[in-house]
Amino acid sequence: MMLDSFKHKGLRKKLIEKLSSKGIKDNNVLDAINKIPRHLFIDNAFIHFAYEDKAFPIGEGQTISQPYTVAFQTQLLEIKPYEKVLEIGTGSGYQAAVLSLLDTDVFTIERQKKLYNKTKEFLPKIGCRCKFIFGDGYKGLPNFAPFDKIIVTCGAPKIPEELLTQLKVGGRMVVPIGDGKNQKMHLIKKKSSQDYDISTHGNFLFVPMLDDKNSL
């Protein structure tokens, strides 16, 4: 049984207050996070800490991102209703759930088969509708491009060129770039087919983006 109690809702309210104090001002993003039962995404060993502003392991060498990171990336995207959004790195599905509650058409790619299967089954149970794809995030989804917004939820060594080609002119892509586990958050605004406005927005910690074959 998926229990979302008054206690959980109270803890989410405190989390929203913390995110607001850290600079998250987009009310739509805050409302989405406030509706999502994060404790249901987390292993039982960490469930009592679900509404702390921390990342936690979810298996397969992956993590569920810190709520502030999810909110920050989503806020940078400046999402509007009915936009088509591509997420690279489904993971636990927490970021995809936030995107889906913003009335977007979400396409999300995961290369770890176990996580893909688990999240594809779980998210619809809590009312989050997304299109789930098992595949290589570096390649994106050219058959469904262009996308209004693209979000990468793992650290890339450089800006993935194939994803840039799948971004609509006027669109935004948010991606953490850097070696190892420390990256700078990049916001890329596509001004034309060959012209981009690139800005950086602080240091973050992500698991690395993997470009080898899909993991079974």
pLDDT in tens, 15-59: 999 999 999 999 999 999 999 999 999 888 788 889 999 998 887
Q: Which amino acid is at 129?
A: R
The CATH number of the domain holding residue 152 is 3.40.50.150
In 3D space, the residue among 138, 156, 152 whose CA is nearest the CA of residue 212 turns out to be 138
Say which of 5, 65, 100, 199 is annotated catalytic: 65
DSSP state, residue 200: E
Q: Does the pLDDT at position 153 exceed 60? A: yes
In this prediction, residue 206 carries a pLDDT of 85
Q: Does the pLDDT at position 1 exceed 50? A: no
In this prediction, residue 210 carries a pLDDT of 65
* Coil, helix or strand at residue 111: coil
DSSP state, residue 81: T
Instruction: Decide: 51 and 38 in contact? Cβ < 8 Å.
Output: yes
In this prediction, residue 211 carries a pLDDT of 62
What domain count does the chain have? Answer: 1
Is 65 known to be catalytic? yes
pLDDT band, residue 215 (cuts 50/70/90): very low
* Domain interval for residue 194: 6-205
Q: Does the pLDDT at position 159 exceed 50? A: yes
Instruction: Decide: 55 and 65 in contact? Cβ < 8 Å.
Output: yes
212 lies in some domain: no
In this prediction, residue 181 carries a pLDDT of 63
Instruction: Decide: 88 and 23 in contact? Cβ < 8 Å.
Output: no
199 lies in some domain: yes
